[in-house]
Structure 1
């Protein structure tokens, strides 16, 4: 049986600030992120199975990524929990804004590492996360490959 890779793309808007950074990104700013999620596995070969021929239903993959990433990060402000902006974060939360405090610098590189962990633990048996590609802008992106992280 062949191993097949399938990819679904997601988009979300997120603001962040890079604590201690020496450039403009130390200020709170936002991006329109695009996340490509590629999984691989063998297509279901049971003709009686409702999802026969699929590695995973795109709708099922969408549910996982939406719950683990998009619903958490879309239109939220992501800050390192050690940020000096912590008072601002608390004020924003109090006024009804979504603020996510993370234990790392919220760069594309660290965000994609976090996403890989969140998504890979929720995939069905026999399915593996192959890669992620997180576009911060049209010309700048980070990539994560399972083969690089064995």
Structure 2
């Protein structure tokens, strides 16, 4: 994977961890205004997850890199995102699997897991690239996750 510089998020924490990986998934956006995106099509999504915190766990990690990949890659790789009814809904626009909603969903899934960690790190940013020329940055507002 080619190294890339991502937008910086300002936070008050001592440690910042970033994990890059990709997953292949299909989706469609069930809205008339979505044009061609109303049809089922696929992407190789590239994601960067930024986690921050002040305290390390018992292994000296803020969070284990492999945990982040497992949470997202294992769930979404080689799937039709629309079929994940826990996260997406074809009848609720705020839950259509658009790049924006997928980025927010990744942040929420990661934070749910981080909330179980004794050192309580925070997911402060998700960068999700859908195509070589299109990406979304999602940053949870303080207290929103």
TM-score normalized by the length of structure 1 = 0.70
**Superposition misfits of 4+ residues, deviation over 6 angstroms:** none
Please tell me whether Structure 1 or Structure 2 has the larger radius of gyration of its CA atoms: 1
Aligned to 2:52: 40
Which consecutive residues of structure 2, in runs of 5 or more, have no partner in the other structure? 1-12, 90-94
Matched, 1:63 2:56: no
Q: Distance in 2 between matches of 1:62 and 1:149?
A: 26
The equivalences for 1:19-30 within 5 A come to 19-22=30-33, 23-30=35-42
**SS of structure 2 residue aligned to 1:110:** helix
Matched, 1:14 2:18: no
Aligned residues: 121
What is the Cα-based RMSD across aligned positions, in Å? Answer: 2.2
Aligned to 1:78: 81
TM-score normalized by the length of structure 2 = 0.73
**SS of structure 2 residue aligned to 1:120:** helix
Q: Distance in 2 between matches of 1:30 and 1:148?
A: 33
**SS of structure 2 residue aligned to 1:106:** coil
Q: Distance in 2 between matches of 1:50 and 1:38?
A: 19
